[in-house]
Amino acid sequence: MIGKIFEVLAVLFDKIPGLNKIKGARSILGFVGLAVVAGLQAYNVGDPDILLKVHMGLLGFTGLALNAKGRA
């Protein structure tokens, strides 16, 4: 059942317009974004609440990208 949920999430993630063109670089894009947000948080640049929300969004994006990467 859990495998089917991840399969559905991978299919839905692959159907997002624009992201299917950069299939090989989605996880790299997510990791780079996480590094930038971590650097901004370390130097106290920007609003901490917004950076936390962007960080959580990038974690979800990177997780979905890695989930979809290994699926046909």
pLDDT on residue 70: 72
| pLDDT tens, per residue, the chain with 72 residues | 999 999 999 999 989 998 888 888 999 999 999 999 999 999 999 999 999 999 999 999 999 999 988 766
The pLDDT assigned to 20 comes to 82
CA distances from residue 59 to 1, 23, 67, 72 in whole angstroms, order as listed: 23, 17, 12, 22
Residue 15: φ, ψ to 5°: -90, 0
Per-residue pLDDT of 30-47, as tens digits, reads: 999 999 999 999 999 999
